[in-house]
Chains A and B, each alone.
Chain A
Amino acid sequence: ETGVTQTPRHLVMGMTNKKSLKCEQHLGHNAMYWYKQSAKKPLELMFVYSLEERVENNSVPSRFSPECPNSSHLFLHLHTLQPEDSALYLCASSQDPGGYEQYFGPGTRLTVT
């Protein structure tokens, strides 16, 4: 499946680094999402964008900064992360926000050292 792509697939960064995760959807959807998946925890919704406007911010620390320049692209800018931020970060899209099937990308496996 290539409907939603994410880069990089793996990332190792130190706590003082700044990096960005990229997501692109080729489905013509209006909504995009960032999720965090940690071991032994449910999938956690981080941000929701609808037509480039952020419509949900799920109490995420400010060291995570999303950006949605257009309806096909979504970024997650990372800075001064903590080791507990190590997780699989998944991007998803849906036709519209709320109540529509979501298509997930393959994820970025992030390790913070």
Chain B
Amino acid sequence: GQQVMQIPQYQHVQEGEDFTTYCNSSTTLSNIQWYKQRPGGHPVFLIQLVKSGEVKKQKRLTFQFGEAKKNSSLHITATQTTDVGTYFCALTTSGTYKYIFGTGTRLKVLA
């Protein structure tokens, strides 16, 4: 079956430092989505990437889709305490309605 590796599993950073999480698939993807889940909360949609090599920005967040459409990254510049949570990638492949979620990267920001 399709596998989704997300690294790192945990990341502790000092406030103001940058943070990056990576999502890798064993197969070519139709698209990839990113979600954020605050502690005690539910996943909240951040963005969807569809095109090969696509880069999208949301304020301090930069999302990238690999050229081969098999990997993606989320980069946060100058982290803040409000960035705390678990970041998940979710992918779909053509011909199915299945969303496969990565294992998530839990980010802790130390003030």
Contacts and interface: CB of A to CB of B under 8 A. Distances in A.
Contacts, number: 57
Interface in A96-113: 97-99, 101-107
A55 interface: yes
A86 interface: no
A105 B30 contact: no
Interface stretch (A10-18, A42-50, A60-68, A70-78): A42-50
Contacts of B99: 33, 45, 98, 102
A33 B100 CA distance: 13
A104 B33 CA distance: 14
Contacts of B33: 101-102
Nearest to A101: B45
B97 A43 contact: no
B88 A98 contact: no
Interface residues of B, number: 23
**Chain A residues touching B, range:** 20 to 34
Contact of A48 (B35, B97, B101): B97
A98 B101 contact: no
A98 B92 contact: yes
Interface string A85-98: 00000101000011
Q: Which 5 A-B pairs have the closest CB atoms?
A: A43-B101, A98-B97, A97-B97, A104-B42, A101-B45
29 contacts: A33-B99, A41-B103, A42-B4, A42-B88, A42-B100, A42-B102, A42-B103, A42-B104, A43-B88, A43-B101, A44-B101, A45-B98, A45-B101, A90-B42, A92-B43, A97-B97, A98-B97, A98-B98, A99-B31, A101-B45, A102-B33, A102-B43, A102-B45, A102-B90, A104-B43, A104-B44, A105-B42, A106-B41, A106-B42
